[in-house]
Chains A and B, each alone.
Chain A
Amino acid sequence: MTFLETLLAHSPALVIATPLLSAFLVPLVGRISPRIRDIFALVMLGVTGCFIGLLASDVLSHGSRVYVFGAKNLSVPLVRILFEVDSMGMFMAIITVMLAGIAVIYSWSFLQKQDGLDKYYTLLLLVTTSALGMELTGDIFNFFVFLEISCIASCALIAFWVEEGEALEAAFKYIVVSSIGALFVLFAIGLLYAQYNALNIATLAHLLQFSFLDKIILVLLLVSLGMKAGLAPMHMWIPDSYGRTPPSIVLLIMSATLASFYGILRVIFTMYGNVLTTPLRFSLPAHLIIGWILIALAIVSILIGVIMALIQTDLLRLIAYAAVAEIGYMFLAIGTSIAALGTTYATVALQGGVLHILNDAIDIGLLFLVAGAIYFVAKKRSLDDISGLARNMKYTTVFFIIGLLAVAGMPPLNGFTSKFLIYESVYQVNPILSIIALLGSILLLAVFIKVFYAAFLGPELPELKDVKEAPRSMLLAMGFLAALAVCIGLFPNIFLDALVKPAATALLDHAQYINMVVGGL
């Protein structure tokens, strides 16, 4: 076995081990030099990214992979955890490591004068590890463990600006909401274990009967993970937390939030994939009822997100509400895909939803970074206190315009490509849903035009006359996301064919996921 083959064979473990071990090495490296520590964090994320790239190319060309931690043979007592890596997991892992890398580059300048950066980078790498773990594991209890790590590490990061009392309050709210959500997930896992004596997702999917208890488990998992993903009306922790956190940290919490969304996809499409056509109530199949529940909650999220964003004057809080609306679009696509299961537009909706995960990470991430750049140079949060920044922040202005158009779903940027697939497929289910989705996008455009007018146009305020462009590392981070938004917008097929379609197919083909484990391991 060559060195590369060995690396490839163990890459699922290395994807988790690299950021996890690096997290605890960071304080030691920080003792040598803060500069080396900053570079070390990025290099280690780069190494993790290489492992993900290696694994992704293998999974995309040879199919899903199963990696066994612990006992190789089925013997009693059986102590082992399986990682089952498919195209969907890889798609999410790529987004996670990309967001983490950008957060590190951005932090170099943004948090340069802050204390406690050793702890910051440790927690950053821990959140990345937990999100990657949630995305690659094939074990539901292991998923919960990573979810808990993500909750605790994210809470500590939200409280990073501890000198501002509100950051502590935001962290408190986050930990309460997340812990209660995680407890309900644990309760559901307990019920699963009590019934089937198994924790492996594929085994559970094979054994699941859709009994009364299974229905309770499904609801518990959907609603708890939905709250973690920021689904309205359980979204309120999002503006409170995102609004008081450094934007680089918001990128990481976003990746943890998206990992929870991924959890919902895994539960519905993989774990309950076999029983979705079972009649549930009034002879209606389960997938129709679950799909419409998700669609209803998605519409509430879109409307609450955009309507509340319109009246915000705190820029970070405003973008957080826009993020709630964007989560609504993802749920709308997934709900449509489930409600119309088996039709061609269900597949299109799922592809749109999966692509929108990437687009949400890019667009909302870019807008948060721009908001951070404004805060960095102007030291102001309120849109009422800033004006005319386009004169001195030309690059930031261009990045904001790209983010604005992308998040509002304007062609030819990336937001349009996924929203186009969502609008078209949702229209087939009910045209009114499509109209509401379009209205949401128009309102999002109105929201960010307000920000553009208030922050970048208008007269130059005397106290902001000496404002300079954001530092290079921050521009680099914003530039990377802006370039991605343009590239995906102009060449959507490349991303769709290479990443999105295999991910959507992996989700729909639950039989293959089950057979990988149940068939022989």
Chain B
Amino acid sequence: MFSLESGSGFWNPVLWVLALFILFLLFYGIRGFGKSTYKKGTEQTKVFLSGNKETSPEEMHVKASNLYWGFTTSMKSLYSLLRKMHTGNTSDYILWFVVVLAVVFLIMGVM
């Protein structure tokens, strides 16, 4: 009834949610077999940093600009190109419009 047909496949969100709920119940049940040895506020809950002293949460928080550092560094040349494209100059924005216009004219065979 709630199936979405694409011609080559289907998607039923209600079934998906139901499956997710059953999985949740299953995992919750399995979890119940485990030992409850967790004690709050003891050594158990402290972070182990290879013997180094744990710094304050404020100091440990990774700022947004540092996230995905590896990805952005490896794509440095692409980012440098894209940043150069976006000059902030309105006449350059119009230049891009003219470039796209010219390319589409060429492809459509009117130039």
Contact = CB atoms under 8 A, between A and B. Distances in A.
Contact of B4 (A239, A313, A383, A417): A417
A153 to B, nearest CB: 20
Contact of B61 (A289, A311, A387, A416): A387
A219 interface: yes
Interface string B34-56: 00000000000000000000001
B88 interface: yes
A389 B72 CA distance: 26
A378 B27 CA distance: 39
Contacts of A421: 4, 6
Contacts of A424: 6-9
A216 B17 contact: no
Interface string B82-111: 100110101011101101110011011110
A210 to B, nearest CB: 11
A212 interface: yes
A299 B3 CA distance: 29
Interface residues of B, number: 48
A223 B98 CA distance: 9
B67 A348 contact: no
A176 interface: yes
B16 interface: yes
A428 B11 contact: no
A489 interface: yes
Contacts of B82: 304, 307-308
Interface in A179-234: 180-181, 184, 212, 215-216, 218-220, 222-224, 226-227, 233-234
Contacts of A493: 1-4
Given A223-B101, A453-B67, A454-B63, A307 B58 contact: no
Interface residues of A, number: 68
Nearest to A173: B90
Nearest to A233: B96
B17 A412 contact: yes
Contact of A233 (B9, B75, B100): B100
Contact of B100 (A223, A237, A453): A223
Nearest to B15: A412
Contacts of B75: 307
Given A176-B94, A180-B97, A222-B104, A446 B68 contact: yes
A492 interface: yes
Q: What does DSSP make chain B's interface, helix, strand, loop or mixed?
A: helix
Contacts of B67: 450, 453-454
A345 interface: yes
B30 interface: no
A461 B57 CA distance: 10
Contacts of B107: 281, 289, 293
Interface string A413-457: 000110011001101100000000000000000100011011100
Contacts of B110: 212, 215-216, 219
Given A420-B4, A421-B4, A424-B8, A492 B93 contact: no
A490 interface: yes
B4 A219 contact: no
Given A233-B96, A234-B96, A313-B65, A490 B108 contact: no
A66 interface: no
Contacts of B1: 493
Nearest to B93: A236
Given A215-B109, A222-B104, A493-B4, A177 B93 contact: yes
A172 interface: yes
Contacts of B61: 387, 458-459
A375 B101 CA distance: 38
A350 B60 CA distance: 48
Most B CB contacts (10 A, CB to CB) among A219, A240, A310, A446 go to A219
A412 B90 contact: no
A61 interface: no
Interface string B60-76: 11111101100110010
A344 interface: yes
B16 to A, nearest CB: 5
A227 B97 contact: yes
Contacts of B14: 490
A307 B82 CA distance: 9
Most A CB contacts (10 A, CB to CB) among B7, B58, B109 go to B7
Given A218-B108, A280-B109, A496 B68 contact: no
Given A411-B11, A412-B17, 20 more contacts: A176-B90, A176-B94, A219-B110, A222-B104, A223-B104, A236-B96, A239-B86, A289-B107, A293-B108, A297-B100, A311-B72, A313-B65, A411-B13, A411-B16, A412-B13, A412-B16, A450-B67, A459-B60, A490-B13, A493-B4
24 contacts: A177-B90, A218-B108, A219-B101, A234-B93, A234-B96, A281-B108, A289-B108, A293-B107, A307-B82, A308-B82, A313-B65, A348-B6, A383-B64, A384-B63, A387-B61, A417-B11, A421-B4, A428-B8, A451-B64, A455-B64, A458-B61, A493-B1, A493-B3, A493-B4
